[in-house]
């Protein structure tokens, strides 16, 4: 079956919760519509001397609560609708944890695995200069997402800075620490996932120590989540996966050793002592906590009834199709939605931006302490609403976000 269009899914959530909250029709329509969309087609010189045209986007969903904020994704399957959906989710994410930002997202259609570092740098710099007309520390601040990293952000920061003639570290977050990045940013999303796991386990009366955890995706979010849940929360990581498949060991995997294996072989599969499994099998394993941390639409109508986790924490954006939510809820599975569960990344991005604007930097302890406070406070607020209104955690998180953004819209009014 064809995967649901993420933009349609994103709009469905807004429509449903907007109506539940009794929001004005016009406000719901504003909330469902990205404010600004830029599409760019641009040439890049490849290593073999040929010129290739790449296509990319930058979508700003809302700037009603502050500058737009959101990652840049490099993937062959990037579409405008995917970028629109991701930009919208960023608005809700920033609102649910109380950051003074609206949402944005960017993407370039490309396959980084088939490009050299030089090609990637030239593509990134050209894309950065194409979108420079709408980004900036007061306007829209990109960050890493799928297949982009701190090096990508360093190139964007440099390209933007060359254009204005001075260093502008606040134009992107997720940069290397040496050029204005924040301590703790690389693991922030996953550290947030761990704090959410701690709070969810408490809410479910579950002991996190020794809890069986399966993590889909072994990139930035999945790898650090597996590592932190293992090292700091004492969980048993029974399965991890990447795009080439997964591995399963009921006795538990050491994420650090699995990373060594992935570095040496290029994949987690064939890890000594573990059984190779497919990504589909990983999702259906019997476990306490399942962390989908790869791509969207992996928990669907087809497999939702086979999910056997007690808690699902959405490390990725949009891993659960809308129709699957109800199936999980009916099975008594607690699902912590992406807009809350993976908000640790944008929270430390916010810290990075604040530090960049002030040219004054914080310690790792300060970062982690403030991150913990924001994540646990947001979880408590969403959980309380879900209990009080007898709704699932996603609906409760949307209730918080939509209320915050709608209130900001009402206060600012519709221009002119």
Q: Interface residues with ligand NAD (CB under 6 A)? A: 144-147, 189, 216-222, 241-243, 279, 293-295, 315-317, 342, 345
Would you say 167 or 281 has its CB closer to ligand NAD?
Answer: 281
Q: Which residue is nearest to ligand NAD (CB)?
A: 219
String of b and e for 14-47 (b: at least 16 CB within 10 Å)? beebbeeeebeeebbebbbebbbebebeeebeee
Would you say 30 or 253 has its CB closer to ligand NAD?
Answer: 253
Query: CA nearest 231: which of 274, 190, 292, 277?
Result: 190
Residue of 105, 175, 262, 269 marked catalytic: 105
Q: Quote the CA–CA distance of 363 and 318 in Å, as a whole number.
A: 32
Residue 198 C-beta-side C-alpha neighbours within 13 Å: 17
310 is catalytic: no
Helix axis angle, 364-388 to 344-358, nearest 10°: 140
Q: Quote the CA–CA distance of 6 and 4 in Å, as a whole number.
A: 6
Is residue 346 within 8 Å of residue 141, measured between CB atoms?
Answer: no
Is residue 389 within 8 Å of residue 397, measured between CB atoms?
Answer: no
DSSP 8-state code for residue 21 = T
Would you say 236 or 342 has its CB closer to ligand NAD?
Answer: 342
Is residue 307 within 8 Å of residue 290, measured between CB atoms?
Answer: yes
List, in order, residues 6 or more apart from 136 with CB less than 8 Å away.
160, 168, 171
Would you say 219 or 252 has its CB closer to ligand NAD?
Answer: 219
Provide the token pair at 22: 């009794």
Longest dimension (CA), the chain: 65
Is residue 203 within 8 Å of residue 209, measured between CB atoms?
Answer: no
CB of 414 to ligand NAD, least distance (A): 31
* Torsional sign, CA 119, 219, 141, 364: negative
CA distances from 254 to 142, 227, 247, 276 (A): 33, 8, 12, 16
Would you say 337 or 345 has its CB closer to ligand NAD?
Answer: 345
Helix axis angle, 393-412 to 25-32, nearest 10°: 110
CB of 19 to ligand NAD, least distance (A): 27
- The H or E element containing residue 222 is helix 220-231
Provide the token pair at 113: 């695995």
CB of 163 to ligand NAD, least distance (A): 26
DSSP 8-state code for residue 10 = H
In sequence order, which ranges of 135-219 are alpha helices (DSSP H)? Answer: 150-164, 188-204
Q: Quote the CA–CA distance of 103 and 346 in Å, as a whole number.
A: 10
Would you say 316 or 378 has its CB closer to ligand NAD?
Answer: 316
Residues pairing with 246 in the sheet:
241, 277
Would you say 10 or 28 has its CB closer to ligand NAD?
Answer: 10
Would you say 30 or 108 has its CB closer to ligand NAD?
Answer: 108
Q: Which residues are designated catalytic?
A: 105
């Amino acid at each position: 079956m064809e995967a649901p269009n993420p933009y349609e899914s994103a709009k469905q959530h807004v429509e449903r919760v907007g109506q539940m909250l009794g929001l004005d029709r016009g406000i719901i329509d504003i909330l469902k519509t990205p404010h600004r969309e830029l599409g760019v087609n641009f040439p890049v010189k490849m290593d073999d001397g040929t010129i290739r045209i790449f296509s990319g986007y930058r979508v700003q969903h809302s700037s009603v609560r502050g500058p737009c904020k959101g990652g840049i994704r490099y993937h062959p399957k990037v579409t405008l609708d995917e970028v629109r959906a991701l930009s919208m989710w960023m608005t809700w994410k920033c609102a649910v944890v109380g950051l003074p930002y609206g949402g944005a997202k960017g993407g370039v259609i490309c396959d980084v695995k088939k490009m050299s570092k030089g090609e990637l740098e030239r593509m990134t710099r050209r894309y950065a200069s194409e979108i420079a007309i709408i980004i900036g520390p007061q306007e829209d601040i990109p960050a890493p997402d799928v297949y982009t990293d701190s090096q990508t952000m360093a190139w964007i920061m440099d390209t933007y800075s060359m254009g204005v003639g001075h260093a502008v570290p606040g134009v992107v977050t997720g940069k290397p620490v040496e050029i204005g990045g924040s301590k703790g940013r690389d693991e922030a999303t996953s550290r947030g996932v761990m704090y959410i796991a701690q709070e969810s386990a408490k809410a479910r009366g579950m002991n996190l120590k020794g809890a069986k955890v399966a993590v889909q995706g072994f990139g930035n979010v999945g790898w650090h989540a597996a590592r932190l849940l293992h090292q700091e929360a004492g969980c048993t990581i029974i399965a991890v996966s990447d795009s080439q498949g997964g591995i399963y060991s009921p006795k538990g995997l050491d994420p650090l050793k699995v990373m060594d294996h992935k570095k040496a072989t290029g994949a987690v599969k064939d890890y000594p002592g573990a059984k190779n499994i497919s990504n589909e099998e990983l999702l259906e394993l019997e476990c306490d906590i399942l962390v989908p941390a790869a791509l969207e639409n992996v928990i669907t109508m087809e497999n939702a009834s086979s999910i056997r986790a007690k808690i699902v924490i959405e490390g990725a954006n949009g891993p659960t199709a809308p129709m699957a939510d109800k199936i999980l809820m009916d099975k008594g599975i607690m699902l912590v939605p992406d807009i809350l569960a993976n908000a640790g990344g944008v929270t430390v991005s916010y810290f990075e931006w604040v530090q960049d604007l002030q040219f004054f930097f914080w310690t790792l302890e300060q970062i982690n302490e403030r991150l913990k406070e924001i994540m646990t406070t947001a979880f408590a607020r969403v959980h309380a609403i879900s209990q009080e209104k007898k709704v699932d955690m996603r609906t409760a998180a949307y209730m918080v976000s939509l209320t915050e953004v709608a209130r900001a819209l009402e206060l600012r009014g519709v221009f002119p």
